[in-house]
Structure 1
């Protein structure tokens, strides 16, 4: 791996495929166009660029890249995968012939050099998501910064069953809905398929297949650039409440200096919450993270993402910037954590000298499912809607209140059902009211 300051920038397009034996893009295509420097390490490229811009979860599943020429196929694999799907890496190798290489020893520019060059990226070797990466432009005069340029459609949910299944279970229903606007069966099937995905790791709220924003995606990229590189030997594992608990690799993992175990909590709608006001259920996400600085050969500018000309912050001697302009643009955010990062660095140096590494879990964030966006509700008072009033039974009515508060809970909408629906329910019209907890078509649909 050779990193030089004159490494060109690349404009790349990545798109999800149906499978490794069917290299057609999904329909509608799930794709992103972005710019980055060709000298970025392949493992860092996967961790800090591909995962956030596609919408996958960082450090959760195993991956590899592969490229082929007339005479040889090369696999650039993740080193020492300990994720749940890690055995799939060995299965993939046994089924394929080709040279096997460590992704950590190569850069993007080692496999993508010229306009039109192509490589493939396989992610989650249990469910098998295959991507095609194409060089659209080579810019010899680029400044090295990482940018999201364009794209379409949201990322599939984690722990699905691969591209072909997602095509059949989500995208085909999405297209059917587009071709038959207002058809209740098409609308309901698609709404159910979307709602079944709200709980998954990279969703955490309302799911819509066509949801994509360049601004939001670029924000995810920036957040990744500002973080430490992932610890591949301590990839994320999930423990669900109320299920038999197996000790994960993370719980028995022996921490190295500058590493910590962290436990995050994600709200779980699959857990039982029998009574109103009862405590919500969460599943745990365990991971090993770095508090030490990234190695110089694996570091990117915290602000723009270039691997070139990096200098340390004079305050914490840890984060790296490529220029004073980048440091200035990031200072408002970094100022709040500079002191803490300096203390982390001091702890890391003490641990290198023999101090004991803390073995317990650091308690992380609680992530709540986002049932609606109070600043961007889809409907307004007076909108005619359809709501489920039983198992596969639907009623119609009118929204009478947006963000309805009842018994310490704020519902997305309150709906007055029409007289025809009230009669079907054998309910007085004045009492025929329902609440929609989520702002999604599974709970409430405009008619």
Structure 2
């Protein structure tokens, strides 16, 4: 029998889906609901398979109230680590509200089940991930390690040129007769018999790394 601790942070079940690709690349993970956003960024990087080599940001949108004959835009909030202290608007312009993610937690940004946000990694390749808080689960004690429950398909390599570049890469690597095949294998760092399987994701390896990440 599990004794529920009402004061312990609930466990959040998140589904993280890389947008604009088919078949979908996604992971389902467990984290404490009170995890801070920099740590959540670390979890996403490990769970998805990125290399944490670029800037990132979280974005939420609050639905605007409907006012007859008046167009009201949704409120956009950006959570990111400031990289130019003198520029309070970062790279996003003066429209959205910009908050320092180091001061916020998941339960601030996504307070309840079915909440959503967009996590963007690498502002050049602009990898957008939809994150859905699928469920909040009361627990006996706060979760101290994140865990990948399941997922599908391999993460694109960093710096491959966003969605179009990744689609080209998969096609080139699958065709030994393609004129760029040898160059792309070299760029990927493949050994003689090594191949790239876009359908493969090693959940066990991700969880092994997550065990080292203290939350």
Q: Distance in 1 between matches of 2:60 and 2:13?
A: 18
Task: For residue 158 of structure 1, report the CA deviation from its aligned partner.
Answer: 1.1
- Residue equivalent to 2:29: 34
Q: Distance in 2 between matches of 1:208 and 1:81?
A: 39
Distance of aligned partners of 1:151 and 1:197 in 2 relative to their CA distance in 1, 3 Å threshold: farther
Equivalent residue pairs, number: 191
- Residue equivalent to 1:220: 209
Q: Please point out which of 125, 129, 132 is paired with 1:131.
A: 129
Task: For residue 149 of structure 1, report the CA deviation from its aligned partner.
Answer: 0.3
Unaligned runs of 5+ in 1: 19-25, 178-185, 226-299, 306-447
In the TM superposition, structure 1's runs of 4+ consecutive aligned residues that sit over 4 Å from their partners are 186-189
**Normalised TM-score (structure 1):** 0.39
Deviations 1:240-296 (A, max 9, x none): xxxxxxxxxxxxxxxxxxxxxxxxxxxxxxxxxxxxxxxxxxxxxxxxxxxxxxxxx
Q: Distance in 1 between matches of 2:156 and 2:36?
A: 26
Q: Please point out which of 198, 211, 215 is paired with 2:188.
A: 198
**Normalised TM-score (structure 2):** 0.77
Task: Pick the structure with more helix per residue.
Answer: 1
Unaligned runs of 5+ in 2: 1-5, 65-74
Instruction: From the CA coordinates, give the structure whose radius of gyration is larger.
Output: 1
Deviations 1:335-359 (A, max 9, x none): xxxxxxxxxxxxxxxxxxxxxxxxx
Deviations 1:107-164 (A, max 9, x none): 0111112222110001111221111101111102264142110011121111122124
* 2:63 matches 1:70: yes
Deviations 1:344-389 (A, max 9, x none): xxxxxxxxxxxxxxxxxxxxxxxxxxxxxxxxxxxxxxxxxxxxxx
Please show how residues 160-239 of structure 1 align to structure 2 within 5 Å.
160-166=160-166, 168-171=167-170, 173=171, 186=175, 188-189=177-178, 192=181, 195=185, 197-199=187-189, 206-223=195-212, 225=213
Q: Distance in 2 between matches of 1:27 and 1:44?
A: 28
8 Å Cα contact 1:62-1:81 kept in structure 2: no
- Residue equivalent to 1:293: none
Task: For residue 214 of structure 1, report the CA deviation from its aligned partner.
Answer: 1.3
Task: For residue 206 of structure 1, report the CA deviation from its aligned partner.
Answer: 4.7
8 Å Cα contact 2:35-2:106 kept in structure 1: yes
Q: Distance in 2 between matches of 1:36 and 1:27?
A: 26
